[in-house]
Amino acid sequence: MDYPPGKAPLAILIVAIVSGFLLLIYPAKKSAGNLQVWTFADSHFKAYQKVVPQFEKTHPGVKVDLQFVEGRAVTSRLRAAFASDLPVPDMLETEISSAGTFFLGPLEDVGFRDLTEELHKPRPDGPPWIERVVRSRFAPYTSRRIVNGKAEDHIFGLPHDVHPVLLGYRRDVFEKHGIDAEKLTTWDAFLTEGRKLLAKLNVDKSGDGKPEMNHYLIGLSDTDCGDLEVLLFQRDGQYFDAEGRVRMDDEIAVKTMLWYVPLVAGPERVGYPVGWNWELTDKAVQSDLILSYVMPDWLTGFFEQHVPSGHGKLALMPLPAFEPGGRRTSTRGGTMLGFTKKSKQFATCWELGLLMYFDIESRAEQFKELNILSPLKGSWDHPLLKAPKPYWSNQPLGQLFASQADNTPPQYTSPYIQLAKAKLGEALCDCVARYNAKGARGFEAYVRKRLKQSADELRLQMTMNPYQ
Amino acid sequence: MDNGERQSLRVQYGETPGGLAGPAKALLYATLILVSVFTLIPLVWLACAAFKGPGDMWSFTFLPYGEVQNPDGTMRPARATVINFIALFRDFGFGRNLLNSFFLTATGTSISLILASLGGFALAKYQFKGKKILMAIMLATMMIPGSVLLAPLYELICHMHMMNSYAGILVPGAVGAFGMLLFRQAMLGIPDDLIEAARIDGCSEIGIYWRIIMPVVRPMSGAFCLMSFMGGWNSFLWPMIVLQSKGLFTVPIALSQTIGLTGDMQYGLLMAGTFLGVLPPAILFFILQKEFIAGLTAGAVKG
Amino acid sequence: MSNERTNSYSLWRHQQRLAPYLFVAPFMILFCVFGIYPIVKSLYLAFHVTNGPRSVVFTGLSNFRFLLQDPDFYSAVKNTAIFAFFSVFLQLPLSLGLALLLNSRWLKGRDVFRFIFFTPNLVGQVFVGVLAGVLFVPRFGLVTRFLHWAFNANLDMKLLGDPDLVMPALVGTALWMYVGFNCIYFLAALQSVDKELHEAAAVDGANRWQQFIHITIPAIKPVALIVVIMSTLGSFQLFELPFMMMGGPGPNKAGLTVVMYLYQRGFDIGNLGYASTIGWTLALIVLTISLAQVRISGAVRGQR
């Protein structure tokens, strides 16, 4: 057959027909369930797969369709779905740094169901859920509205976690050099002892004027605000206050930035960025490059899986405090479970959510896999949490994190939380560059100015709001 | 001047009968080969990386060989493996992504080809009312960068209920002022007598288009098909906005999601997927090389 | 019988007259709906602020006023302009030089070389971005290792994590992708230059350099102009490469381009109105630059 446009167009036409035909006879697997749940974390997905059969047994007629959807896709799909008539899942997990972006606009426009009432409902077997869960963990999923001069909190998600932060340090190296980690209760003490240790390690053995290898005391990033924000939260700094006003240029933020930058830049630096490349991190542990790490509970799981060189060498201690008696933990990351307004089976979803998040046995199982602590205060006595973990020098990991869980600071949110984090990262980069170039001269004034600049840019962006 | 004089002139200016002087020739080849190596090495690396299993990815520059030590001390042979491809198809549904890419790209190209050549024919060989205005508008819109259209198209597609569907990609994608003008350029050169003769023979206009014009512009069709196919296959931004469910994702979108994974398999999967994503346009280009270059440059050189 | 004949004749005549309209019709309809309407609508949206496609609020010129004081927008423009400048003007000599080499009369295997040089472009920005992201990995990536081996660069340098290294990494990748592509344009132009011209000039006593200046360069000027305009247009719309290489704007916004910024504001945040404002400003910038380029080349040409 002679196809007038030519051979190649014919071939392409055939490809189109064949592929179209194949797509027709192998349609995408239609979700067989009638209750759709999205999760973006692979580990959560595997954990919930174990919970689903149990739930379906006790709820005949319900078929749960658990889907793994990549993080960014969750946000974009949800936004598109809320705006047009695309189907939304019944319930979904969303990450702490994007949850707030859905709270923009009047309450009727928020796609998530308001859970405040449900959480305050008295329960037959004890106090309402709101009192059983670490209170600060609701902050990132709460939108506070001022109505007639009164502040009303609207909670849109169940917190999955607490994510207390401890310091994971090289117990073997510390012990070898006679450092007692128990005594290092403040950052000042930690840094002083740490610098002495580094002076011992960073010696020039070959006589060429430079040490063989530079060791660093702590893994801290100089471009990304992730570690900075952990320390900011520790001393009660915030991006936003509870009403959603920008706070990232207040005195606490300035003090934290002033304290942080010389740790990661300049001649006296003791910090080295860790990053997400596990090969690199493993090699870093092997070569003793970094002697301590800022460890939220979920990171310990990653280390156990991907950093085999650290087995038995690392141990956990509470974060050194900023002042004696001060807070010895912080928080990093988080996930919430949201229920969409469009869903017609809220009651069933609620029960599934409770099973996934607040059931003590199922959370203990999840802890075994992921090292993630449940925000349920009553769940921390579970024997599984007391088990010694050989990777962490046989410490009872669960207990250690649980002991700090109640102290975790809140993370207040805003629809502009992502923008705020980006702005802090930019400020950090610029402050690092300035410190590297000009040192401490006039540095405080610069930090103050630069943070205010970031905060003002953020405030400016916040005015671009159709609801003003 | 005759050949002899020319020859002597060439020799005068440093050319031997075989070409340039020896060392200059060697230098030339060396340069070209060096550039070729630089050009190809990343792609060779890609092909090798697609076949490297977890653990081998960074230990070997190209393909694995010899033996490697396990974390527990035992040795294992390090070989090329298809494990990435198996995981890609079995666990990630990559086969479906490939199928989606093929379907959307091939269908889009076929439709665009017909529309552009039809329109180009009308513009080249007919006079009709509004032709000048139409061409002016088309040229004007071509100057506008595509990103201007993203927001309103998104809103339009939402309202037309074409979000998350093949139609959302195919329908807006069929519009192409560029293609129409390309075909117009190619068809201008067709002698009008040919068309008149066909008309006298009783051929309908559409018949003229199909049976006479299209075979004549085959080189341009080939070039256009390749450009359209490449453009569609590699297109990322608009499909990312429109396609929302996993079963509809094209290859670029699927790959961008694999980047978010962590773990040992991640890079292997990513490279295997990229490798497969690169093959179809490469193969098509290899087949249509001559037409493509002829079509590309015809417009530019005369332009 | 003659009636029949006239009827079918007039029908035939009819379809001949209608044909052009029918041929252009499908394109016209689609063009109006998906081409003209969005352009007009985006102009409309540029004066509004939205939260997704539903809530659209009229704000007059405030989007434009905001744009003029928006530091993120200026960063994006600066990054995009720097990228465009370096990638266009580094490309020109490289692809021209390559084309000249390929144009050598007696060169064997020209087709093979041509195919090889074209392959990176054929891969497409998305896939190149993914590949580059992996090749630039600190300590292990192929490019990082090569730079360490060849130029003693720091093996741990983060080509995509250090704000100062991101732009060179982007420009380098773009060069790898497009030099071959533009080389083919130049090669075609060079090959279409009449060889007789060169020989006639040689007879007149012109040496190779003079031949180059007076024959080759004028012949390729139109192509060079097209290459420069196309490269500039393309560079200003850079999005996929940094997006796939770094997953976003990169450290300290070093990889933020105008289109990426548009996408962020329009689709990550949901403000389609401001996204349209950004889009139109980009269109204006690009148009101005193209016009300037045409003017300059015309002036240069006129000088001859």
Q: What is d(CA B216, CA B211) in angstroms, rounded to the nearest whole number? A: 9
**pLDDT surpasses 80 at C5:** no
What tokens were used for A278? 């596990």
DSSP A126-165: BS-HHHHB-GGGGGGGEEEEEETTEEEEEE--EE----BE
pLDDT band at B107 (very low <50, low <70, confident <90, very high): very high
What is the reported pLDDT for B3?
53
Residue B17 has pLDDT above 60, yes or no: no
Chains that touch B (3 or more CB pairs under 8 A): A, C
User: Checking phi first, is residue A298 left (phi over 0); if not, alpha (psi -120 to 50) or beta?
Assistant: alpha
Burial class (CB in 10 A: 0-12, 13-18, 19+), A352: buried
Q: Which residue has the tokens 């490309």?
A: C91
CA atoms of C50 and A109, how far apart (whole Å): 13
Chain C residues with beta carbon closer than 8 angstroms to that of A98: none
Q: Would the CB atoms of B244 and A23 count as touching at under 8 Å? A: no
Nearest Cα of chain A lies from the Cα of B117 at a distance, in angstroms, of 9
CA nearest to A272 within chain C: C156
Backbone angles phi, psi at A91, to 5 degrees: -145, 155
Tokens of B190: 């067709």
pLDDT given for residue C7 in this prediction: 65
Q: Do A306 and B263 touch (CB under 8 A)?
A: yes
Lookup: tokens for A346 = 């809220």
C-alpha A421/C-alpha A98 separation (Å) is 11
DSSP code for A372:
P
Is residue B14 very low, low, confident or very high in pLDDT (cuts 50, 70, 90)? very low
What's residue C200's pLDDT? 78
**Nearest by CB: C239 against B138, B206, B237:** B237
B152 closest CB neighbour out of C42, C143, C239: C42
Q: Which domains does chain A have, with CATH numbers?
A: 35-162+333-398 (3.40.190.10), 165-332+409-462 (3.40.190.10)
Residue B118 to residue B111: CA distance in whole angstroms: 11
Name the B residues in 147-186 with CB < 8 Å from any C CB. Answer: 147-156, 158-159, 171-172, 174-175, 177, 180
**Is residue C1 pLDDT above 60, yes or no?**
no
Residue ranges of domains in chain B, CATH in brackets: 3-77 (no CATH), 90-297 (1.10.3720.10)
Separation between Cα atoms, residue A52 and residue A74, nearest integer Å = 21
Which residues between 47 and 86 in chain A have a beta carbon less than 8 angstroms from any beta carbon of chain B?
67, 69-73, 76-77, 80-81, 83-86
Q: Residue A32, CB half-sphere, CA atoms under 13 Å: how many?
A: 3
Mean pLDDT, to the nearest integer, of C158-179?
Answer: 90
pTM of the model: 0.87
DSSP states along C217-253: HHHHHHHHHHHHHHHHHHHHT--HHHHHHHSSS-GGG
Indicate the residue of A28, A42, A279 with minimum beta-carbon distance to B247.
A28
Which of the four pLDDT bands, split at 50, 70 and 90, describes residue B2?
low
pLDDT at C215 over 80: no
Q: Name the burial class of residue B86, with classes exposed (0-12), middle (13-18) and buried (19+) by CB atoms within 10 angstroms of its CB.
A: exposed
A337 beta partners:
A93, A158
ipTM for this prediction: 0.84
* Residue C69 near chain B (CB below 8 Å): no
State the pLDDT confidence band at B6, using cuts at 50, 70 and 90. Answer: low
Q: What is the mean pLDDT of chain A?
A: 90
A283 and C139 within 8 Å at the Cβ level: the answer is: yes
CB-based contact A409:A233 (threshold 8 Å)? yes
Helix (H) or strand (E) run with residue B55 in it: none
- B158·C53 Cβ contact <8 A: yes
Place of tokens 């340039």: B20
**pLDDT higher at A316 or B198:** A316
Residue B20 scores a pLDDT above 70: no
The end-to-end CA distance of chain B, in Å, is 34
Query: Chain B partners of C37 at a C-beta cutoff of 8 Å?
Result: 152, 156
Distance CA A341, CA A82 (A): 10
Q: What is the mean pLDDT of residues B39-44?
A: 92
In chain B, the largest separation of any two C-alpha atoms, in whole Å, equals 86
Q: Is there a contact between B221 and A6 if contact means CB atoms under 8 Å apart?
A: yes
Please state, in angstroms and rounded to a whole number, the distance separating the CA atoms of residues C155 and C167: 18
Q: How far apart are CA B246 and CA A28, in angstroms?
A: 9
A31 confidence band (pLDDT: 50, 70, 90)? low
Is residue B288 over pLDDT 80? no
- C247 inside 8 A of chain B by CB: yes
pLDDT band of residue B16 (cuts 50, 70, 90) is very low
Mean pLDDT (whole number) for A352-363: 90
**Which residue spans within chain C are E strands per DSSP?**
48-51, 55-58
Q: In order of start, what are the domains of chain C with their CATH numbers?
A: 64-303 (1.10.3720.10)
The rounded radius of gyration (Å) of the Cα atoms in chain C is: 26
- B77 to chain C, closest Cα gap in Å: 21
Inter-chain touch A105–C71, beta carbons under 8 Å: no
How close C264 gets to chain B, by Cα (Å)? 11
Left (φ > 0), alpha (ψ -120 to 50) or beta: where does A66 sit?
A: beta
Instruction: Tell me the two tokens of residue A403.
Output: 């002991």
Q: What is the CA radius of gyration of chain B?
A: 26
Band of the pLDDT at A433, cuts 50, 70, 90?
very high
Confidence of residue B302 (pLDDT cuts 50, 70, 90): very low
What's the one-letter identity of residue A290? I
Q: Are A89 and A36 in contact (CB under 8 A)?
A: yes
Flag if C36 and B286 touch (Cβ within 8 Å).
no
Confidence bin at B18 (pLDDT 50/70/90)? very low
Burial of residue C43 (CB within 10 Å: 0-12, 13-18, 19+) is middle
User: At CA B224, angle to CA B223 and CA B228, rounded to 5?
Assistant: 120
- What residues of C are in contact with residue B141 (Cβ under 8 Å)? 35-36, 39
